[in-house]
Structure 1
Amino acid sequence: MLKGMMKPLIRIVAPAVFVLSLLLLPTPSAFAATHATTQPALVGPKANYLAVGDSLAYGFQPDLDFSHGYADDFYANLKSHGTTGYANMACPGETTTSMIYGDCSVSFLRKFPYIGSQLNAAVLYLKFLAGRVSPVTLDIGANDMRPDINTSTCTLSSTWNSDLARMDTNLRQVILPKLAAAMTVHGQRSGDLFLMNYYDPYQNICPTMVPYALEINQHLAADASGYATVVDVFTPFGGTATPNPNICSYTWMCSIFKDIHAKAAGYRVIANAFEQTAGY
Structure 2
Amino acid sequence: MLKGMVKLLFRIAAPVFLVSSLFFLSMPSAFAAIHASLVGPKSHYLAVGDSLAYGYQPNLNLTHGYADDFYANLKSHGATSYANMACPGETTTSMINGGCSFSVLRKFPYIGSQLDAAVLYLELNAGNVSPVTLDIGANDMLHDINTSTCTISSTWNSDLATMDTNLRQVILPKLTAAMTVNGRRSGDLLLMNYYDPYQNICPTMVSYAQVINQHLAADASGYATVVDVFTPLGGAATPNSNICNYTWMCSLFKDIHATSTGYSVIANAFEQTAGY
TM over 0.5: same fold?
A: yes
In structure 1, the residue matched to 2:139 is: 143
In structure 1, the residue matched to 2:214 is: 218
In structure 2, the residue matched to 1:18 is: 16
Shift of 1:16: 1.6
1:255 aligns with 2:251: yes
Classify 1:180/1:9 alpha carbon distance in 2 versus 1 (closer, same or farther; 3 Å). same
Equivalents in 2 of 1:141, 1:19: separation in Å?
11
- The answer on whether the counterparts of 1:100 and 1:118 sit within 8 Å (CA) in structure 2 is yes
Alignment identity in percent?
A: 80
- The answer on whether the counterparts of 1:183 and 1:189 sit within 8 Å (CA) in structure 2 is yes
Instruction: Report SS of the residue matched to 1:194.
Output: strand
- The answer on whether the counterparts of 2:10 and 2:256 sit within 8 Å (CA) in structure 1 is no
Aligned residue type for 2:6 = M
TM-score, normalised by the number of residues in structure 2: 0.92
- The answer on whether the counterparts of 1:28 and 1:212 sit within 8 Å (CA) in structure 2 is no
State how 1:1-280 maps to structure 2 within 5 Å.
1-11=1-11, 13=12, 15-18=13-16, 41-280=37-276
Question: For residues 173-200 of structure 1, what are the alpha-carbon distances to aligned partners after superposition, in whole Å with 9 as ceiling and x for unaligned?
Answer: 0000000000000000000000010000
Runs (4+) of structure 1 moved beyond 6 Å?
Answer: none
TM-score, normalised by the number of residues in structure 1: 0.90
Aligned residue type for 1:67 = T
Deviates more, 1:213-222 or 1:116-125: 213-222
Shift of 1:19: 8.5
- The answer on whether the counterparts of 1:59 and 1:66 sit within 8 Å (CA) in structure 2 is yes
Backbone CA RMSD of aligned residues: 1.9
Structure 2: give runs of 5+ residues left out of the alignment: 22-32
Instruction: Report SS of the residue matched to 2:56.
Output: coil
Deviates more, 1:223-232 or 1:206-215: 206-215
Equivalents in 2 of 1:114, 1:18: separation in Å?
28
Aligned residues: 264
Question: For residues 128-147 of structure 1, what are the alpha-carbon distances to aligned partners after superposition, in whole Å with 9 as ceiling and x for unaligned?
Answer: 00000000000000000011
Shift of 1:41: 1.7
Structure 1: give runs of 5+ residues left out of the alignment: 21-26, 30-37
Question: For residues 73-109 of structure 1, what are the alpha-carbon distances to aligned partners after superposition, in whole Å with 9 as ceiling and x for unaligned?
Answer: 0000000000010000000000000000013332221
Shift of 1:210: 2.1
Shift of 1:28: 9.2
